[in-house]
Chains A and B, each alone.
Chain A
Amino acid sequence: MLRSEALRILVAFLLLSGGAAVASDSGHAEHDLSAKALEVFSVGPLKVTNSMLVTWVVAAAVIAFARHATKQIREVPEGAQNLWEWLVEGLYGFLEGVVGHDLVKKTFWFFSTIFLFILATNWFGLIPGVGTIGWSHVPIGTTSFSHIETPLLRGVNADLNMTLAMSMIFFVCWTVWALQANGPGGFLLHIFGPKGQTTGALKVLMIAVFLCVGVLEVVSILFRPVSLSFRLYGNVFAGENMLESMSAIVPSLAWLIPIPFYFMELLVGLVQALVFMLLTAVFTLLICTHEEGAHH
């Protein structure tokens, strides 16, 4: 029964990818992938864009799968539960190695969610049909189907709003964790305070120097959400652009040329999820480690 289901999904995939190949087959050399997500429909004042739609679909799918996998917990896991346990335990062990035993207990929920969500959305965006099914303002019959102005679905992280939202949530969490770990005074001391052992006149000089270093530190901290969101958006959007260009480069081979790049995008999707998680984890580690910890 499971096998027939898998087969049906495979057939659906093949049909979709066939459709995508046909759609981009007679593609123009010019490609105009919109840099921002486009509105699909609106509920009152709320505009629903194509990337929001995919966000909800992926989030619902991940939640449904997690609920399904953990509905009946077995002593000896198998199937979906096994996969889910392997994912969570692997991530936990990995993060424990990065941020340490105590911090991972407190922050694991955030980093694992970020990683799994970004991975799921990045890979969902590679399914043929995302970005190739949609509306065209050109009447059917007069020209090819290749010109889709408003795709129904769009890669989630190809929308700067989404990546910026995730970075800002991290920024808030980071501030909360930093204040919890250091206290308000310790937090300021951590940023502006002098590091290392010095005495006498040198100490006074060091305090002045580290005050200036603290100002630089504040600027770099404030720039983190920007660089985090730009990095993820830039990678995913560039990937979508590249796939589109590759399928338009030789119209008769539009089904063949993008295939290697699909594998590269699979890798990029994984690496970018890893990068986002690792960077946020390391930023958290940097602010939450006490200098006393280095002595023992």
Chain B
Amino acid sequence: MKYLVTDDSKLARLSLIKSLKVTVGEAEIFQAENGLVAVETMKKENVDIVFLDLTMPVMDGYEALPKLLEHNKNAKVIVVSADIQEKARERVIALGAQLHMQKPINVEKMKELLELINNV
């Protein structure tokens, strides 16, 4: 299983990766600091699960989301954002995200969301 963690904040990426490693053990985890790098990583690595922030420089999550799915329609995209507005949730789900989660993702939340996407 390949994972891609996309966030402009190094803290957010490291913190999410820490929770991910505790939950799934050692895994192939890629990092991207914006949507454009995420799309390029997807083209090269064909990752299975993408954690995607929304507010990022260069290319934001809204723009990156359909491009990610264009390259791998089977990928599961989990939006992890501070933007918890209902309209933001509706928008990312309409764009193809599986889940919209509020930051930060601790180990408990990570377990919960991985269980949820396995049932989607």
Is chain B a partner of chain A in the same complex? no
Residues of A within 8 A of B (CB): none
Residues of B within 8 A of A (CB): none
